[in-house]
Amino acid sequence: MSTIAEIRSATEADADGIAAVFAPYVTGSVVTFETTPPAPDQWRAKIRESDLPFLVLSDPKIAGYALAAPWRPKPAYRHTVETTIYLAPEAAGQGHGRRLLDELLKRCADAGAKQAIAVVVDSGSPASRRLHRAAGFTDAGVLRRVGFKDGRWLDTLLMQRELG
């Protein structure tokens, strides 16, 4: 993978690539609480229906994605987003995650978001915690034993960053 991979808004044509990036995390790790990988049609619908930034890293194959979603549905939370980022293994460790997350946060701020929340499985990937801390997120709390996957209870670490 080149070091100059393009970051751009996701289109429905990217759904197969996004599904391919995410599926191994669902089936082979605890970094997500999903237990069945979403099908490309589900990703197409998510891209089509999203009012918030949804980005892909392409080179030209999809090598990662980042998206923002409403933190909670109640109107008072409308300025707070939850961020999600995943990279294909071949894209890791080259600075792509930081570039992708920084661009997502910039676009969220441009869209009027004031706070970004990341929900990181505490016993999942330490790289995710490092990435979010490097991007200015701070620990906001731990939710203990809130997920059950692969025969064990898992905690989530809430991380938060002010935008704008």
pLDDT, tens digit, for every residue of 105-120? 999 999 999 999 999 9
Burial of residue 20 (number of CB atoms within 10 Å: 0-12, 13-18, 19+) = middle
Would you say residue 52 lies in a domain?
Answer: yes
Would you say residue 36 lies in a domain?
Answer: yes
Instruction: Determine the structural domain holding residue 46 and report its residue range.
Output: 6-162
pLDDT, tens digit, for every residue of 138-158? 999 999 999 999 999 999 999
- Look at the chain and report how many structural domains it folds into: 1
Would you say residue 1 lies in a domain?
Answer: no
What is the per-residue pLDDT for 123?
Answer: 73
Would you say residue 66 lies in a domain?
Answer: yes
Cα 103–chain centre separation: 12
What is the per-residue pLDDT for 3?
Answer: 57
> What's the whole-number average pLDDT of the chain?
95
How are beta strands 80-87 and 62-70 bridged, if at all?
antiparallel
CATH number at residue 116: 3.40.630.30
Give the sheet arrangement for strand 115-121, strand by strand. 6-9, 54-58, 62-70, 80-87, 115-121, 152-162, 138-149
Question: For residues 8 and 65, is the Cβ–Cβ distance under 8 A?
Answer: no
